Protein backbone atom coordinates (compact mmCIF):
# COMPACT_ATOMS: atom_id res chain seq x y z
CA UNK A 1 0.00 0.00 0.00
CA UNK A 2 1.49 3.30 -1.09
CA UNK A 3 0.19 6.51 0.53
CA UNK A 4 -0.13 9.23 -2.10
CA UNK A 5 -1.47 12.02 0.11
CA UNK A 6 -2.87 12.78 3.56
CA UNK A 7 -4.75 15.95 4.45
CA UNK A 8 -6.27 17.09 7.72
CA UNK A 9 -10.02 17.36 7.19
CA UNK A 10 -12.68 18.31 9.79
CA UNK A 11 -10.51 16.96 12.60
CA UNK A 12 -9.83 13.70 10.78
CA UNK A 13 -7.69 12.64 7.83
CA UNK A 14 -8.38 12.34 4.12
CA UNK A 15 -6.05 9.72 2.67
CA UNK A 16 -5.37 8.70 -0.92
CA UNK A 17 -3.70 5.32 -1.35
CA UNK A 18 -2.46 3.19 -4.23
CA UNK A 19 -1.92 -0.56 -4.31
CA UNK A 20 -1.35 -3.37 -6.74
CA UNK A 21 -4.69 -5.07 -7.38
CA UNK A 22 -4.68 -8.82 -7.82
CA UNK A 23 -8.18 -9.01 -9.32
CA UNK A 24 -7.81 -6.01 -11.67
CA UNK A 25 -4.18 -6.84 -12.54
CA UNK A 26 -3.11 -3.19 -12.33
CA UNK A 27 -2.47 -0.46 -9.80
CA UNK A 28 -5.63 0.93 -8.21
CA UNK A 29 -6.14 4.14 -6.25
CA UNK A 30 -8.78 4.87 -3.62
CA UNK A 31 -9.66 7.53 -1.08
CA UNK A 32 -10.27 6.85 2.61
CA UNK A 33 -11.61 9.41 5.06
CA UNK A 34 -11.03 8.68 8.74
CA UNK A 35 -13.07 10.88 11.12
CA UNK A 36 -11.56 12.19 14.37
CA UNK A 37 -13.29 9.40 16.33
CA UNK A 38 -11.05 6.86 14.55
CA UNK A 39 -8.19 8.04 16.78
CA UNK A 40 -9.95 6.24 19.65
CA UNK A 41 -10.77 2.98 17.84
CA UNK A 42 -12.52 1.42 14.82
CA UNK A 43 -15.45 3.32 13.32
CA UNK A 44 -18.24 2.20 10.95
CA UNK A 45 -17.67 2.65 7.22
CA UNK A 46 -19.75 3.99 4.34
CA UNK A 47 -18.74 3.03 0.80
CA UNK A 48 -19.33 5.66 -1.89
CA UNK A 49 -19.35 4.37 -5.49
CA UNK A 50 -18.98 7.05 -8.16
CA UNK A 51 -20.49 7.37 -11.63
CA UNK A 52 -19.43 7.44 -15.27
CA UNK A 53 -16.16 9.26 -16.10
CA UNK A 54 -15.28 9.61 -12.40
CA UNK A 55 -12.22 8.51 -10.45
CA UNK A 56 -11.86 8.12 -6.68
CA UNK A 57 -11.42 11.89 -6.54
CA UNK A 58 -14.81 13.21 -7.71
CA UNK A 59 -16.93 12.37 -4.70
CA UNK A 60 -13.99 12.87 -2.36
CA UNK A 61 -13.72 16.54 -3.41
CA UNK A 62 -17.27 17.39 -4.59
CA UNK A 63 -19.82 15.57 -2.43
CA UNK A 64 -19.13 17.43 0.81
CA UNK A 65 -19.48 14.20 2.79
CA UNK A 66 -16.51 14.58 5.15
CA UNK A 67 -18.08 17.26 7.36
CA UNK A 68 -21.09 15.05 8.03
CA UNK A 69 -18.93 11.94 8.49
CA UNK A 70 -16.74 13.76 11.03
CA UNK A 71 -19.79 14.76 13.06
CA UNK A 72 -21.22 11.22 12.99
CA UNK A 73 -17.97 9.29 13.45
CA UNK A 74 -18.09 7.41 10.15
CA UNK A 75 -15.28 6.44 7.77
CA UNK A 76 -15.76 6.91 4.02
CA UNK A 77 -14.25 4.81 1.23
CA UNK A 78 -14.06 6.22 -2.31
CA UNK A 79 -13.01 3.49 -4.81
CA UNK A 80 -12.17 4.18 -8.43
CA UNK A 81 -14.73 3.34 -11.11
CA UNK A 82 -12.54 1.16 -13.34
CA UNK A 83 -9.05 -0.28 -13.76
CA UNK A 84 -6.37 2.09 -15.05
CA UNK A 85 -3.09 1.83 -16.94
CA UNK A 86 -1.59 1.84 -20.41
CA UNK A 87 -2.32 -1.84 -21.00
CA UNK A 88 -5.95 -1.59 -19.81
CA UNK A 89 -8.55 -1.79 -22.60
CA UNK A 90 -10.46 1.42 -23.31
CA UNK A 91 -13.07 2.86 -25.65
CA UNK A 92 -13.51 6.28 -27.24
CA UNK A 93 -17.03 6.57 -25.80
CA UNK A 94 -17.33 8.09 -22.31
CA UNK A 95 -19.66 5.30 -21.16
CA UNK A 96 -17.35 2.37 -21.96
CA UNK A 97 -13.89 1.43 -20.79
CA UNK A 98 -11.89 3.51 -18.33
CA UNK A 99 -14.15 5.36 -15.94
CA UNK A 100 -17.05 3.08 -16.84
CA UNK A 101 -16.48 -0.28 -15.15
CA UNK A 102 -20.19 -0.60 -14.18
CA UNK A 103 -19.21 -2.62 -11.09
CA UNK A 104 -19.31 -5.94 -12.94
CA UNK A 105 -16.72 -8.66 -13.53
CA UNK A 106 -16.16 -8.73 -17.29
CA UNK A 107 -16.03 -12.10 -19.00
CA UNK A 108 -15.49 -10.96 -22.61
CA UNK A 109 -12.34 -9.86 -24.46
CA UNK A 110 -10.68 -7.41 -24.30
CA UNK A 111 -12.25 -6.40 -20.98
CA UNK A 112 -11.91 -9.60 -18.96
CA UNK A 113 -8.19 -9.15 -18.26
CA UNK A 114 -8.71 -6.13 -15.98
CA UNK A 115 -12.37 -5.17 -15.59
CA UNK A 116 -13.25 -6.99 -12.34
CA UNK A 117 -14.78 -4.10 -10.44
CA UNK A 118 -17.43 -6.15 -8.65
CA UNK A 119 -14.83 -8.45 -7.11
CA UNK A 120 -12.56 -5.50 -6.42
CA UNK A 121 -15.18 -3.60 -4.42
CA UNK A 122 -16.86 -6.64 -2.90
CA UNK A 123 -13.80 -8.68 -1.94
CA UNK A 124 -10.33 -7.26 -2.52
CA UNK A 125 -10.58 -3.69 -1.29
CA UNK A 126 -12.42 -4.61 1.95
CA UNK A 127 -9.54 -6.94 2.77
CA UNK A 128 -7.10 -4.01 2.63
CA UNK A 129 -9.02 -1.89 5.12
CA UNK A 130 -7.92 -4.08 8.02
CA UNK A 131 -4.80 -1.92 8.26
CA UNK A 132 -6.97 1.03 9.33
CA UNK A 133 -9.29 1.74 12.30
CA UNK A 134 -12.42 0.69 10.40
CA UNK A 135 -15.12 -1.61 11.85
CA UNK A 136 -15.85 -4.03 9.02
CA UNK A 137 -18.76 -5.50 10.99
CA UNK A 138 -20.62 -2.20 10.45
CA UNK A 139 -20.78 -1.27 6.76
CA UNK A 140 -23.21 0.70 4.59
CA UNK A 141 -23.05 1.67 0.92
CA UNK A 142 -24.15 4.50 -1.34
CA UNK A 143 -23.38 5.78 -4.83
CA UNK A 144 -24.26 8.19 -7.62
CA UNK A 145 -25.56 7.31 -11.11
CA UNK A 146 -23.53 4.28 -12.29
CA UNK A 147 -22.33 4.11 -8.70
CA UNK A 148 -25.93 4.08 -7.49
CA UNK A 149 -26.46 1.06 -9.72
CA UNK A 150 -23.34 -0.50 -8.20
CA UNK A 151 -24.38 0.25 -4.62
CA UNK A 152 -27.87 -1.21 -5.05
CA UNK A 153 -26.76 -4.36 -6.88
CA UNK A 154 -23.87 -5.03 -4.52
CA UNK A 155 -26.11 -4.55 -1.48
CA UNK A 156 -28.84 -6.86 -2.75
CA UNK A 157 -26.26 -9.36 -3.99
CA UNK A 158 -24.40 -9.49 -0.65
CA UNK A 159 -27.00 -10.42 2.00
CA UNK A 160 -25.92 -9.53 5.52
CA UNK A 161 -22.95 -7.36 4.59
CA UNK A 162 -24.47 -3.88 4.51
CA UNK A 163 -26.76 -2.42 7.17
CA UNK A 164 -28.28 0.02 4.66
CA UNK A 165 -28.04 1.16 1.05
CA UNK A 166 -28.77 4.49 -0.61
CA UNK A 167 -28.33 5.98 -4.06
CA UNK A 168 -28.33 9.34 -5.82
CA UNK A 169 -29.79 9.27 -9.34
CA UNK A 170 -29.09 5.55 -9.78
CA UNK A 171 -29.21 3.71 -13.09
CA UNK A 172 -32.20 1.66 -12.00
CA UNK A 173 -32.94 -0.65 -14.91
CA UNK A 174 -29.73 -1.04 -16.97
CA UNK A 175 -30.82 -4.19 -18.79
CA UNK A 176 -33.51 -2.03 -20.47
CA UNK A 177 -31.44 1.15 -20.92
CA UNK A 178 -28.63 2.29 -23.21
CA UNK A 179 -26.70 2.82 -19.98
CA UNK A 180 -26.50 -0.91 -19.36
CA UNK A 181 -27.44 -2.93 -22.43
CA UNK A 182 -24.44 -1.66 -24.38
CA UNK A 183 -21.98 -2.19 -21.53
CA UNK A 184 -23.37 -5.53 -20.35
CA UNK A 185 -23.24 -6.92 -23.89
CA UNK A 186 -19.60 -5.84 -24.25
CA UNK A 187 -18.41 -6.81 -20.78
CA UNK A 188 -20.58 -9.86 -20.11
CA UNK A 189 -21.75 -11.07 -23.52
CA UNK A 190 -25.22 -12.31 -24.30
CA UNK A 191 -27.34 -13.85 -21.57
CA UNK A 192 -29.28 -13.01 -18.45
CA UNK A 193 -28.01 -9.84 -16.77
CA UNK A 194 -30.63 -9.71 -14.02
CA UNK A 195 -27.99 -10.00 -11.29
CA UNK A 196 -26.76 -6.53 -12.34
CA UNK A 197 -30.15 -4.81 -12.57
CA UNK A 198 -31.38 -3.08 -9.40
CA UNK A 199 -35.06 -3.10 -10.39
CA UNK A 200 -35.04 -6.78 -11.24
CA UNK A 201 -33.13 -7.64 -8.07
CA UNK A 202 -35.56 -5.60 -6.01
CA UNK A 203 -38.51 -7.45 -7.52
CA UNK A 204 -36.82 -10.82 -7.04
CA UNK A 205 -35.21 -10.58 -3.60
CA UNK A 206 -35.25 -7.05 -2.18
CA UNK A 207 -32.80 -5.85 0.44
CA UNK A 208 -32.56 -7.01 4.05
CA UNK A 209 -32.36 -3.48 5.41
CA UNK A 210 -33.58 0.07 4.68
CA UNK A 211 -33.20 1.70 1.25
CA UNK A 212 -33.06 5.41 0.37
CA UNK A 213 -33.04 6.68 -3.24
CA UNK A 214 -33.08 10.29 -4.40
CA UNK A 215 -33.48 11.40 -8.03
CA UNK A 216 -34.08 14.93 -9.33
CA UNK A 217 -37.18 15.77 -11.33
CA UNK A 218 -34.95 17.82 -13.66
CA UNK A 219 -32.40 15.03 -14.15
CA UNK A 220 -31.25 15.32 -17.75
CA UNK A 221 -30.60 11.56 -17.94
CA UNK A 222 -33.95 10.36 -16.57
CA UNK A 223 -34.76 8.29 -19.67
CA UNK A 224 -31.51 6.38 -19.18
CA UNK A 225 -31.91 6.02 -15.41
CA UNK A 226 -35.52 4.72 -15.54
CA UNK A 227 -36.26 5.62 -11.88
CA UNK A 228 -39.90 4.56 -12.15
CA UNK A 229 -38.88 0.90 -12.48
CA UNK A 230 -37.14 0.80 -9.10
CA UNK A 231 -39.88 2.84 -7.42
CA UNK A 232 -42.48 0.40 -8.69
CA UNK A 233 -40.44 -2.62 -7.62
CA UNK A 234 -39.95 -1.19 -4.13
CA UNK A 235 -43.65 -0.45 -3.78
CA UNK A 236 -44.71 -3.87 -5.05
CA UNK A 237 -42.36 -5.58 -2.64
CA UNK A 238 -43.17 -3.23 0.25
CA UNK A 239 -39.45 -2.70 0.68
CA UNK A 240 -38.60 -0.72 3.82
CA UNK A 241 -37.22 2.63 2.77
CA UNK A 242 -38.02 5.63 0.58
CA UNK A 243 -37.78 6.62 -3.08
CA UNK A 244 -37.84 10.40 -3.36
CA UNK A 245 -38.17 12.60 -6.44
CA UNK A 246 -36.56 15.94 -5.58
CA UNK A 247 -38.21 18.83 -7.39
CA UNK A 248 -35.97 20.89 -9.68
CA UNK A 249 -32.72 18.99 -9.10
CA UNK A 250 -30.55 17.61 -11.90
CA UNK A 251 -27.82 14.95 -12.15
CA UNK A 252 -24.93 17.09 -10.89
CA UNK A 253 -22.90 17.07 -7.70
CA UNK A 254 -24.86 20.14 -6.60
CA UNK A 255 -27.74 17.67 -6.18
CA UNK A 256 -25.52 15.23 -4.26
CA UNK A 257 -24.21 18.02 -1.99
CA UNK A 258 -27.76 19.09 -1.16
CA UNK A 259 -28.86 15.69 0.13
CA UNK A 260 -25.62 14.05 1.27
CA UNK A 261 -26.40 14.94 4.88
CA UNK A 262 -29.74 13.14 4.68
CA UNK A 263 -28.01 10.06 3.34
CA UNK A 264 -25.29 9.98 5.99
CA UNK A 265 -27.87 10.44 8.74
CA UNK A 266 -29.88 7.59 7.21
CA UNK A 267 -26.85 5.29 7.27
CA UNK A 268 -25.79 6.43 10.73
CA UNK A 269 -29.13 5.31 12.14
CA UNK A 270 -28.82 1.90 10.47
CA UNK A 271 -25.25 1.56 11.77
CA UNK A 272 -26.26 2.42 15.32
CA UNK A 273 -24.49 5.77 15.57
> Would you tell me how many other CB atoms lie within 10 Å of the CB of residue 66?
23
- Catalytic residue from among 50, 145, 169, 199: 145
- Catalytic residue from among 56, 251, 263, 267: 251
Tell me how many helices (H) and strands (E) the chain has. 10, 9
The alpha helices in 84-129, defined as continuous H runs, are 117-119, 125-128
> Would you tell me how many other CB atoms lie within 10 Å of the CB of residue 241?
17
In the annotation, is 219 catalytic?
A: yes
- DSSP 8-state assignment for residue 256: H
In the annotation, is 95 catalytic?
A: no
Q: How far apart are alpha carbons 36 and 191 in whole angstroms? A: 47
Per residue in 192-219, is it b (16+ CB within 10 Å) or e — as a string? ebeebbbbbbbbeebbebbbbbbbbeeb
- Catalytic residue from among 80, 105, 197, 219: 219
Concatenating the DSSP letter of every residue in 54-83 gives --THHHHHHS-HHHHHHHHT-EEEE--SS-
Give me the active site residues, please: 145, 219, 251
Amino acid sequence: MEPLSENACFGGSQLVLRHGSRVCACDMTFGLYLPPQAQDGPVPVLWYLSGLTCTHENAMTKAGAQAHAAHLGMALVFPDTSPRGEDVADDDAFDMGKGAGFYVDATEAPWASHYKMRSYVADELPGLLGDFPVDMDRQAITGHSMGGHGALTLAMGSPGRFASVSAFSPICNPSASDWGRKQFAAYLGDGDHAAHDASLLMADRGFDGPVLCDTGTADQFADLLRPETLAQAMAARRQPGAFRMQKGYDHSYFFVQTFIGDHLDFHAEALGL
